[in-house]
Amino acid sequence: MICVSLAGPKLEDVRAAMARLDFVELRLDLIQASEVQVEALVAGHPNCLVTCRPSRNLDDGARQGLLCAGLRAGARWLDLELESDLVWRDALLAQARKTACRVIISHHDHEGTPSRDALSALRQACFSAGAEVAKIACLVRRPQDSARLLGLLDEPEPTLVIGMGPQGRLCRVLAPLLGSPFTYASLAEGEETAPGQLDLRTMQSWLSRLRDLTGEDPA
């Protein structure tokens, strides 16, 4: 399954993209939308993931308001950072538990990929913080980094592993075939929301090729 990450910034572009996609991530820190507009976006789509990364343009109160708007409208997924303020995060977790929303607790390392033991500890920290799905995204500098990330999928707990940077693209493609609940893609080339993110058409093409080789269905 592929989740297409949408960043706008124009609301009309996001709305048009959502109309033709099955699964979307709304990067509310990058989309120019009010709480009312966020509610309308999420209410009109059956499979939305909402997240709002820390931003110099939004304080925690504004971020919480946008995420709560998504939850009220029926978001299926909520992504919160492991490093976020505990009180802030717990308030959103409580709101999510009142709905059918599944919670992702995520950790992003833009410097590199830690040891396997450190990665395992980070994943466990995500679950201890209230995750239903853990997400570990790390900058990949060499193939062994991808191997360590993908090794996290050998455990039964649902985990998203993301390789960031050009060297991380293989990890992004292989992860859903090895047990990751889904992977991310951009709507088109040049609209990436993270380093190393493939566009939807390219991701679909690679997954289709791998499906033909392995007999697995990555969709």
Q: In Å, how far from its chain's centre is CA 68?
A: 17
What is the pairing mode between strands 24-27 and 48-51? parallel
Catalytic residue among 45, 98, 108, 110: 108
Active site residue 108: yes
Catalytic residue among 10, 98, 110, 135: 135
Q: Which of 141, 138, 148 is nearest to 178 (CA)?
A: 148
What strands, in cross-sheet order, belong to the sheet with 159-164?
159-164, 133-139, 102-109, 77-81, 48-51, 24-27, 2-6, 183-186
Active site residue 45: no
Q: Report the distance separating Cα 187 and Cα 77, nearest Å.
A: 19
CA dihedral 30, 8, 193, 197 (to 10 degrees): 170
Give the Cβ contact number of residue 121 at 10 Å: 12
Two tokens, residue 176: 């859903």
CA dihedral 164, 5, 42, 79 (to 10 degrees): 0
Catalytic residues: 108, 135
